Chains A and B, each alone.
Chain A
Amino acid sequence: MDAIDCDVHCAPESYEALFPHLNEYWRQYITEAGIRVNGMAHAYPRTIGAPAPANYPELADRVLNRGHVRFVILNCLTGFETHRNAYFAAAVASGLNDWVREEFLARDERLRASIVVSTISPEDAVAEIERVGEDRRFVQVLLPVRSDLPWGHKNNHAVFAAARERGLQVALHAWGRAGRAPTPSGFTTTYLEDYLSNQPIAQAQVLSFVSEGVFDRFPDLRVLLIECGFAWLPPLLWRFDKDWKGVWREVPWLGRRPSEYVREHFRATTAPAHLPRDPVLLDQLIEMLDGPGMLAYASDYPHEHGDGLPALLERLSDEQRRSVMWSTAAELYGLRRDPAPSRGA
């Protein structure tokens, strides 16, 4: 079956690869400061998975030519690594988007990508969306799930406005800038805990988007949670609805139950699929999720999370499986199997 893979990674091997897209000042800064692309080493240790493809031939060989994938959405996380110099962050974001276009998007019509933006300055994020957002090969704005301020906060709304003005969605991807403790009680000491921290953080972001009325302001906005898991959704929605019933006056702009906003506006990729193996429990989870309608397939190449997905897919009907592997993402990004040949930059 043809599929849309909603999360495949690419990353430049070094900043040298971006130099053609950066001005002389930044080239000198990077060289003098010894800044290296570390491939988010704290997030993806080498023992688990492989380095992200750094060029088109690697991507074609390792991903595109291996399976029945009609479209691949490329997510370059190198922008997540940038430090707190806002101007550097903005320059690198632009450089990365130009690099992705030249190295990947121009070479294969199966490829789409997320726009990388500054994660420090909403103003700069808006500027970058305005700069490249008309390019239809970009389908969404990529944000890290870890943030200084929850993404739903009013300070960030201009980013969503800019995205929607150009028909773009938003994605929250696991991980984020190094140096922030991932939990409410500080740093974790093991990779496993840091890795799993993305899930509670994603939950907090879901609460923020809904509570801040982002979907009341931007009713066509969809947010894809990438690499954040999804089995935690049902209990979160039960609690969210219950608490809202008591304190709705704090957020009187919410005209519907929070769970309805979440079901309509959020989607989640299937990697990681941290699930039970027991088919009875899988069927229960699917029912608790109200069906698999929120799920969109992602390989998350080259990151590994175990093999929970096949057992879940096996419990689905053909139509449900198609929605996970194709139609949910197709609808999200306006993708058709045979798009008109005149599309392009």
Chain B
Amino acid sequence: MRVVVAPVSTFPDGERRIVEVGGRSIGVFRVGESFYGIRNRCPHQGGPLCLGHVLGDAVADAPGQARVSSDPLRIACPWHGWEYDLDSGQSFMGGAMAGVRSYGARIEPGGSLLDSLPARPTERVPGPYVAETFEVRVEDAYVVLEV
């Protein structure tokens, strides 16, 4: 089912709209030139997912050395903070170590083990919940939601 949400010109970057379609509440988001549609209901305990903050990633190269990136985008439930990939709806838990440098077993004089890092890369852990996502596209200058 095709739902016209709004003219693109009235839907600026960074905005979101909640629409009710056939008894379901769905959040439509614009980030840059991309649009996302995700069910406004957190699979964890039913919170209004689409009222939460949209965040990029937080990655740490080492304890205390954290940085944020704008990608991938997640929506964090306004209740317990479970985060869902805006694109796929997959929930993820926790960060991922960038793990760039290799781990030295022996330290040169003057050096320190503190400067070394584990080489073990870690994948971000997918969580058990997947939020329902919907296709959103631009058609003839309108934002269209496919339910």
Contacts and interface: CB of A to CB of B under 8 A. Distances in A.
A–B direct contact (CB < 8 Å)? yes
Contacts of A254: 94-95
Nearest to A242: B80
A247 B63 contact: no
Interface stretch (A154-162, A226-234, A291-299): A154-162
A245 B127 CA distance: 9
B114 A252 contact: no
Interface in B70-116: 80-82, 93-97, 103, 106-107, 112-114
User: Interface residues of B: mostly helix, strand, loop or mixed?
Assistant: loop
Interface in A215-262: 216-219, 244-249, 251-257
B32 to A, nearest CB: 22
Interface string B124-146: 11010000000000000000000
B64 interface: yes
Interface stretch (B7-15, B17-25, B33-41, B54-62): B54-62
Contacts of A39: none
Given A158-B114, A161-B113, A248-B94, A217 B127 contact: no
A165 B125 contact: no
A216 B103 CA distance: 11
Contacts of B63: 154, 212-214, 216-217, 251, 253
B113 A164 contact: yes
Contact of B80 (A213, A217, A245): A245
Given A161-B112, A161-B114, A255-B97, A246 B82 contact: yes
A245 B82 contact: yes
A247 B80 CA distance: 9
Nearest to A252: B95
5 contacts: A158-B114, A213-B62, A217-B63, A251-B95, A253-B97
